Structure 1
C-alpha cells in the first residue's frame, strides 16, 4: 500500500463512507452519500485503488436490472489508514477556531 501525497476533504469524505459500511459500495452510492460530484469521487476512488487502499470489482447480481455497478471496498491496510486519516480530519475540524474579525479603523 502506498501513502497518498495529498488528502483533501473529498478524499476524507469518500474514506468515511467506505469506513461506515460493512459491504462494498458502488460509485453512485458514494456520490449520493458524500454529496460530492462524480468528477471528484471517481478520481478519488481511482487514486485510492492505485495506492492499494481500495479494491473494486464489477457487481455480478444478474437479478438486478440496469447497468453493472463497480463495487468498492477498503483493503485491511486501507481501512486502518482511513481510520487514522478520518480521526486526524475530525481533530483538525474541532480544533480550528476562526480568528476574531478585524475592524477597519
Structure 2
C-alpha cells in the first residue's frame, strides 16, 4: 500500500462508505457521499492505484443497465481508513461556520 496523499473531506466520505460494507459499487458511494461522480471516481481510482482498495466488475448477466464496479478495502487499509475518517470527523466538529455564511442567511439581523 502506498501513501494516498492528502485526505480531503470527500476522500474521508469515500473511505467511510467503504468501511460501512464488505463491498460497494461506485454509484452507491456517490449517493452515500452526496458528491458528484466527477469527485468520487477519481478518488476511487487513486485509492485503487495506491493499493488501498480492490475493484472488480460485476459478472451478473441478468442485470439490466450498466455493469457495476464493486470496491472493497484491502485488509491492511481498514485500520488506516478508520483513522482517517475519525480525524476528519474531529476536524468537522471543530470548524465553525464562516461569518459570511451568517450574513447570507441574515441571522445577524435578528441580534
- Shorter-normalised TM range: 0.7 to 0.9
SS of structure 1 residue aligned to 2:80? helix
1:95 is displaced (CA, Å) by 3.2
SS of structure 1 residue aligned to 2:56? strand
The 4+ residue runs of structure 1 with deviation greater than 4 A are 97-100
SS of structure 1 residue aligned to 2:70? strand
- State how far apart, in whole Å, the 1-side matches of 2:56 and 2:10 are: 22
Q: Which residue of 2 aligns with 1:49?
A: 48
SS of structure 1 residue aligned to 2:60? coil
1:39 is displaced (CA, Å) by 0.6
Q: Which residue of 2 aligns with 1:67?
A: 66
Higher helix share: 2
Deviations 1:30-73 (A, max 9, x none): 11111100110000000000111110000111222222111111
SS of structure 2 residue aligned to 1:68? coil
Structure 1, unmatched stretches of 5+, are 101-105
Q: Which residue of 1 aligns with 2:8?
A: 8
Aligned length: 100
- State how far apart, in whole Å, the 2-side matches of 1:73 and 1:39 are: 20
- State how far apart, in whole Å, the 2-side matches of 1:16 and 1:9 are: 10
SS of structure 2 residue aligned to 1:71? strand
With normalisation by structure 2, the TM-score equals: 0.81
Structure 2, unmatched stretches of 5+, are 100-111
